[in-house]
Structure 1
Amino acid sequence: MSAVDFGRTAADYARHRAGFPAALLERLTPYRIGEAGQRVLDLGTGTGSLARLFATRGADVTGLDPAEPLLEQARRLTREAGLSITYVTGAAEETGLPDASFDVVTAGQCWHWFRGDEAAAEARRLLRPGGRIVIAHFDWLPLPGNLVEVTERLIRAHNPGWALSGGTGLYPRWLTDLRTAGFSGVETFSFDVDVPYTRESWVGRIRASAGVAASLPPPAVERFSAELTALIPPGDLAVPHRVWAVVARN
């Protein structure tokens, strides 16, 4: 697969990629994560969907991402939501932010793009004593014969180097990253939800993925979009997804 650059698909990313459901915050409440006044750093924030969830709870949120086009979309969406979030350009492995300056560090749908051992060590440096890290994912679920399985098959046909198909939405390797970095109290949880899409929004969502517009040239993206559109019947769709998270303490 060609080098992935989500900045190339920032508009589709902002418009069509469903953010984490608010139910994630409810699951984090017993860990005292996402409280008003907490300083939260969202690594790999993208268009800021997870950052905005925490901001709605009154947290003081900073979103960090290496792709400035995504941050431009994040700033726009944050303004439109009437929220206040600080967005900065940087890498999860070396943020350049001060030691022990956050109560919570989060990473939503992005840890697989990091050098995990370095990102975990950086998160420990940034967290205050007793602070928490949350690594979360929100993945579509390919089930036999469903829309996701058909879509993944088409992505592989257009981009044979794409290696992210067939996922279960579970990421046990991230637990090793956290324990190796010295985090304790490691716990995980998951729950499944169906996400509503239309044919147009599902095609847009898939364009905004690593295997399509983030790595294929524009003509190939247009061909892919036309083929996927032809495969999907009109009407409302309910696409199965899994939310998974690991929480640990500094």
Structure 2
Amino acid sequence: MEIIDERIDGGKAFDWGKTSKDYAMYRDISPEQIEQAEQLAKAAGMNIRFQAEATENLNFPVESFDVITACQCFWYFDHERVIPYLAKLLKPNGRLLILYMAWLPYEDAIAGASEELALKYNPEWTGAGETRHPIWIPDVTYRYFELEDHEEYDVMVPFTRESWHGRMKACRGVGASLSDEELLAWENEHKELLMEKAPEKFEVRHYAALAVLKKK
């Protein structure tokens, strides 16, 4: 399904379905995330019902949850619709936990070179140029929540040439938005770049951030 949002990449369409195989292989442990989560929950003796649904289309009773988490997805929401609904879903004193992680292109040479190549093919991609900062929280959030805690810290993430190539291909600015012809050209150039600049195994500097919001 194509997504077009004027807030993201200048309104350029992107489709996570185009990169689902790479996303599953290089951004998650299992290609069947829900199935894997169910198995982990069962092994831990946890009774959890998993559901894949757009946040704007959820339909749960009010005060259903103690904690709601949003990992690598919060900025895609229609916040004016979603934030008040999440507040209703939380029990009194419930928490909304937002998590995010990104590579640091100005501090990591491989990440910087890969990002520069992605921008060559998709100059409208707004996911580039990350630096350390607290998670962005839209103003509407503070009508329903108060910021209880936040943290930002560095983490070194191990890759091989293949897995970093796959990780870059799985990002919104590459696999989810380039045409087939553009993607093929990017792949060939990126593989050459990694052969020149990266050893077979290496680490990429990322920063991770979290924010804990308490329901008012």
Structure 1 and Structure 2 fold alike (TM over 0.5):
yes
Distance (whole Å) between structure 2 residues aligned to residue 112 and residue 244 of structure 1: 14
Residue in 2 that maps onto 1:147: 110
Distance (whole Å) between structure 1 residues aligned to residue 140 and residue 208 of structure 2: 19
Once the two structures are superposed, residues 127-166 of structure 1 have per-residue CA deviations (whole angstroms, 9 ceiling, x without a partner) of 1111110011011111256111111110110112212111
Q: Percent identity, aligned pairs only? A: 31
Residue in 2 that maps onto 1:26: none
SS for the counterpart of 2:32 is helix
Aligned length: 197
Residue in 2 that maps onto 1:201: 163
Deviates more, 1:90-99 or 1:231-240: 90-99
Residue in 2 that maps onto 1:226: 188
CA RMSD of aligned residues (A): 2.2
Distance (whole Å) between structure 1 residues aligned to residue 93 and residue 166 of structure 2: 40
2:177 pairs with 1:215: yes
2:46 pairs with 1:83: no
**Offset, 1:228:** 0.9
Residue in 1 that maps onto 2:65: 102
Tell me the TM-score normalised to structure 2 length.
0.82
Deviates more, 1:188-197 or 1:222-231: 222-231
Look up the equivalent residue of 1:247 and give its one-letter code. V
Residue in 2 that maps onto 1:184: 146
Mind listing any 5+ residue stretches in structure 1 that lack a counterpart?
20-46, 48-71
Look up the equivalent residue of 1:146 and give its one-letter code. A
Relative distance call for 1:135 and 1:184 in structure 2 (3 A) is: same
Mind listing any 5+ residue stretches in structure 2 that lack a counterpart?
1-8, 43-47
SS for the counterpart of 1:88 is coil
2:36 pairs with 1:73: no
Relative distance call for 1:187 and 1:156 in structure 2 (3 A) is: same
Distance (whole Å) between structure 2 residues aligned to residue 171 and residue 119 of structure 1: 21
2:125 pairs with 1:167: no
Pick the aligned partner of 1:239 from 190, 197, 204: 204
Structure scoring higher RCO (CA < 8 A, sep ≥ 6) equals 2
Tell me the TM-score normalised to structure 1 length.
0.71
2:103 pairs with 1:130: no
